[in-house]
A and B are shown apart, each in its own frame.
Chain A
Amino acid sequence: MPERHITETLDNTPFTALTESELSTIREHAGSCIECANAFAAAQLSSVLLKERISEAAESAANANPFFQTRVLAAWRGQQGPASGWSFRRLWNATGAIVASMAATTAALAVLTFVVPATDTNNPQTAANQQAAALVPYSAETVVLEQDQDDNQLTNDQVISAIYADDNEGR
């Protein structure tokens, strides 16, 4: 069947790749068959449209966005961020300085609290100071902390008599 043959030829081969003999056969047949003439015109039109579409695509590609590279690199960095965002290394980079300083402060406080007082008793100078403080009956600590006890131990009369005892003797 000639019509079928022509449309199959059109569909089997790109229009621009049709040979001269194929084209002459098609034209010859299309002269006497309206349907095949239509098919031939449509195939020709399809070829023209595709050609224009491809040339437009080539022009668009030639006028590429100058910031495209920057955009791709930014997207790449953005994509890389969340992927390893919770890794230990990243976490350490962000908070390492604070964590390290906090640890150092805690260690220093612990040393000052527990280690330094224990070592001070071994120091002869410190021990002598502590003994001297113990001999003073009204040291600052005693006055402040044991104020109530002192009041209870001496009555006012006793204090007055102790103060003015010498004066009475002089008279």
Chain B
Amino acid sequence: MAHRFFRDRGQAEEAAQETFLKAFAQLKSFAGRGSMEGWLTRIATNTCLNMLRSASRRPELVTSGLTEDETDWLEKVSDSSRAQPLDAEQKMIAADLAERLLATLSPEDRLALTMIDGEGASVNEVAEVTGWSESKVKVRAFRARRKAREALEKLIGKKH
């Protein structure tokens, strides 16, 4: 769960540790209602969101900020009409770029986009994990999708 939010291993472990410490401290409040996994996932989600909120820095994704490898990769991918399998290096570049794209979003938008579009979770599942209403999840996902698309459109548009 923490690795979805944080690419950096240290940050992911910090979030996971914080989650377990909170869970130990609030173990009495669990009281066996629902699944333990769901309860832990909810704590983890809130912990990760809080950590992302405290970071609060959301750098804009601009062409001038891209590395040479990322620029080459973008050109290659956007020129090819069909999705091609990526090698290990290209996968890493893609993951780098994805992280930078996600970093431009608010923590809530990031969560919605990662879970729904990335992992294929349903709106209901995200609502359960976050405690948000389904309509809020839909709005967040819609907004995140649009922001991500527009940010990438600018990069692709400037390449063409």
Q: Which of B32-40, B128-136, B149-157 contacts A (4 or more CB under 8 A)?
A: B149-157
> A residues engaging B (CB < 8 A)?
7, 10-12, 14-17, 38-39, 41-58, 60-61, 65, 68, 71-72, 75-76, 79
Does B91 sit at the interface, judged by CB under 8 A?
yes
Q: Is the CB–CB distance between A46 and B101 below 8 Å?
A: yes
A54 and B20 contact, Cβ closer than 8 Å, known pairs A12-B142, A38-B157, A46-B145 = no
Q: Is the CB–CB distance between A53 and B102 below 8 Å?
A: yes
**Complexed CA–CA distance, A35 and B61 (Å):** 20
| Count class of interface residues, chain B | 35 or more
A49 and B13 contact, Cβ closer than 8 Å, known pairs A11-B145, A41-B156 = no
Does B66 sit at the interface, judged by CB under 8 A?
no
Closest residue of A by beta carbon distance from B100: A49
Tell me how many residue pairs across A and B have CB atoms closer than 8 Å. Answer: 112
A46 and B21 contact, Cβ closer than 8 Å, known pairs A14-B117, A52-B86, A71-B13 = no
Q: Which residues of B contact A46 (CB under 8 A)?
A: 101, 117, 145, 148-149, 152
Residue in A38, A53, A55, A72 whose CB lies within 8 Å of B21: A72
**Complexed CA–CA distance, A56 and B156 (Å):** 24
> B residues engaging A (CB < 8 A)?
3-4, 7, 9, 12-13, 16-17, 20-21, 24, 74, 77-78, 83, 86, 91-92, 94-95, 97-99, 101-102, 113-114, 116-120, 141-142, 145-146, 148-150, 152-153, 156-157, 160
Q: Is the CB–CB distance between B153 and A49 below 8 Å?
A: no
Q: Is the interface of A mostly helix, strand, loop or mixed?
A: helix
**Complexed CA–CA distance, A57 and B6 (Å):** 8
